Structure 1
């Protein structure tokens, strides 16, 4: 070890002990962001059944993901410029306000709007945690801590469907949102009292033009994937106009970012090969993962006849597999410094899981479905933490926030596209599969503005012959969604092979690469 390496590594050893003080607050913030994604999924069939309009079901998820995605780069850049603590606490506050409003929603339109408000807060949670961790822990040591974070994500994904089912069955679906309040309050107290990061006094001009154009690109593309083939034909003026607008906005965004003093998404980061490749993998991973997982509870509750609680229970094996393999990957990366194998192996296992899920039928048992989901979960576990780790290691320390936000942004935008696109595929295939097979008075419940929709409690009252048609249609639609996820997962697998095994840093960056106003990060016990 050289003298400079020894000096760089020395502070990291001290931080490893003290970082445990603030770690619970960071883990609760991750829990908030992830729990809200999973807990709502189990309650969604009941929510849609109450409010009507299953054709807009995907927007309950898409609005949240889109808002979080659009706000993520802003949180990352402002954190780099002005410090992270207050911004992080602000994000938690916005998220909690959105949670209260979503729980009090009285229509599908209100719920979608309040979910977007939640998403504006959520955009700062994930990137805030990862950037703070990047400030406190060097990349070589970060695998262990990101393993803890990945485990929390898995706990949220396990507990979310189960909690959503219990609350929906025994209390009210609105508590799927209200449950965030005590968790958020505890997180705020811990962060306020234990986290002390340097305050940056940077006079750089905020890249408002870049923020506006990036938001326009993301929003227009999601609208294209959501409305195309559903609300409007793919060759309609609306879809063609949105597509053209997104292309123009993208070109304008690139031109603005090349000249901006402090770009919201610095294009210089993409000159690093690994940064570009790992973010392509993250985008495709989000596209396939969010798109696929949104519809699993629908299959379990409608076709297999599970209650929301039972649906949550059957998610546990999948998430346990993901959690175990994610923790194991983090430990191996910390010990060896090697990481390239994990996105490759994770991609291969995820594809295998998706192939198995395309084999679902109306008679597939709950045990068989769980086995398929475990395979899918193992793939997720191998992939989840590597994308952020490689992205942060590929950027200078002064850009750790924007590197984290870019990685999160691209994964989330992939998820938003996936949910929107696969939601359209699901709706179109469902309509096609049941076309002409249902009486008119029942068929109207499955139109976009219907009031009966796919609520499991109402479907259980249908005659067996009609229920067979509905189950068959839902199964066809969901397996079609999984078929469409495979090409995107396969492309991510191929891209992962081109990632270079660049050594993980064992300490901080040289002083010349740090911003002048930065000070060593400290944590108060």
Structure 2
């Protein structure tokens, strides 16, 4: 149903109206998040049964992130031009189709392709939910609703890994239900949105969609990420393959910047992101995304392959990470609304994130679970204090008519950071594991081929299983150290942010009509 069919005055929604609209949006956010968390603990078993490799393991995650990243700015600009509610429902439809295709996949290649298609819908859901919420609630008041968002994030992130573990450990279900289970939830969210979401009428951006810029960005980023996935394993850093991929990738991105400068409605609005606050928030989001996605995605693999826990046990063991996200996002959200300040929480969260990854950098295949829990709790707390507040800082600078593009831009760079992080750290992990396995097999006099290239560890001889588990357990700490180093960039960007006072109006003071002087005064 279009917003035009049910017009509302351009006034603030009541608390009750907001809660009704949030019910469907929160279910959408839940299904988008659980699509990743439910698979995280199941991936080692899925790729093991499909005889997948470490590179394919990384690409099952990267494919979704890449598709979501490439399409996020398009979804954002579309939200400025068309019915936001309809766009959310279209994204749900794409997500459902992608989930079904993933569930019916017969090999690693098919599941990677299906996850890429699913990522288009996930990118839309993640960006559009934030855009719709921003269109309903002024920045200053948005913090009080972060508790609801934090609760949904916590449920999805806590229940997802546990549910994924239970599914793959239940013989009569099997891993395919990790993808099927999201379908009825998405359908329910679709119906709930249809019934509850009524957005206030507002001005829409006019002009053609910048498809050329979007295509160039998607192609350029994809080329570079494909290079990152294969460099140092399939070919050397200094090789003809590197030059054949890096130079064209950079050239395509340079062309995308030129197109964006000239476009009437660019998918990445350069005039917005070059301002100090959005620019620094984007740099921080890029770094936090690289550290968070790149590091946390391998925790399930560490527990299952490096430590030998079942998928269900792995889901339970990652709960401190999710608990940290819930507690910090809820508390910081309330404090943001009370104070109107957001920078202190971004800086604190970025520092805590670095400390968390630094503590996890010491893990090996024998690290105590207590020490791991403390590190994960710190990482989760850092994520909860930074991710949404960085988006809020950018939205606070954008006019309502450009809200979608601005939100899409910061979400794009955060997802880009996550995609790069997963690709780079996955390549580093694969190289380190292969080197360690070869050395340890030689030390113990085991034939070199006994380590295998598959993630189906249980198919290996007992002696080789021990070597492989130790290699994965010891190598994981190294990628957490890299994540901590990347996180330092986020701390620096957060420190350089200006002092931000959140406005109490939906639109910027300059964009507010004269009929709303009270709102302009509050801004």
Structure 1 residue matching 2:267: 3-state secondary structure: coil
Question: Which of 312, 315, 324 does residue 315 from structure 2 map onto?
Answer: 312
The TM-score normalised by the length of structure 2 is 0.91
How do 1:438-477 and structure 2 match up within 5 A? 438=441, 443=449, 446-447=452-453, 453-455=454-456, 457-458=458-459, 462-463=461-462, 465-477=463-475
**Corresponding residue number in structure 2 for 1:421:** 424
CA distance in 2, matches of 1:363, 1:471: 11
Aligned residues: 498
CA distance in 1, matches of 2:327, 2:436: 39
How do 1:181-260 and structure 2 match up within 5 A? 181-197=183-199, 198=201, 204-260=207-263
- Give unmatched runs, 5+ long, in structure 2: 1-9, 514-523
The farther-off stretch of 305-314 and 365-374 is 365-374
CA distance in 2, matches of 1:283, 1:115: 22
Question: Which of 498, 503, 515 does residue 501 from structure 2 map onto?
Answer: 503
CA distance in 1, matches of 2:154, 2:33: 9
Q: Is the 8 A contact 1:15 1:136 kept in 2?
A: no
C-alpha distance after superposition, 1:372-422 (max 9, x if no partner): 211222222221211111110021111111111111111101000000001
1:28 lines up with 2:31 in the alignment: no
CA distance in 1, matches of 2:225, 2:194: 36
Question: Which of 350, 354, 372 does residue 351 from structure 1 map onto?
Answer: 354
Q: Is the 8 A contact 1:433 1:476 kept in 2?
A: no
1:41 lines up with 2:40 in the alignment: yes
Question: Which of 265, 268, 272 does residue 268 from structure 2 map onto?
Answer: 265
The farther-off stretch of 228-237 and 394-403 is 228-237
**Corresponding residue number in structure 2 for 1:162:** 162
Q: Is the 8 A contact 1:15 1:137 kept in 2?
A: no
Q: Is the 8 A contact 2:451 2:465 kept in 1?
A: no
**Corresponding residue number in structure 2 for 1:112:** 112
1:489 lines up with 2:487 in the alignment: yes
Structure 2 residue matching 1:243: 3-state secondary structure: helix
Q: What's the CA shift for 1:476? A: 2.5
Q: What's the CA shift for 1:37? A: 1.3
C-alpha distance after superposition, 1:155-199 (max 9, x if no partner): 211111101100010121111101101110110001111213348
Question: Which of 289, 296, 307 does residue 293 from structure 1 map onto?
Answer: 296
Q: Is the 8 A contact 2:346 2:386 kept in 1?
A: yes
Q: Is the 8 A contact 1:226 1:423 kept in 2?
A: yes
1:86 lines up with 2:86 in the alignment: yes
Q: What's the CA shift for 1:457? A: 4.2
- Alignment RMSD (CA, Å): 2.0
- Give unmatched runs, 5+ long, in structure 1: 1-9, 448-452, 516-525
Q: Is the 8 A contact 1:304 1:366 kept in 2?
A: no
Change (3 A) 1:433 1:182: same
How do 1:369-408 and structure 2 match up within 5 A? 369-408=372-411
CA distance in 2, matches of 1:441, 1:513: 71
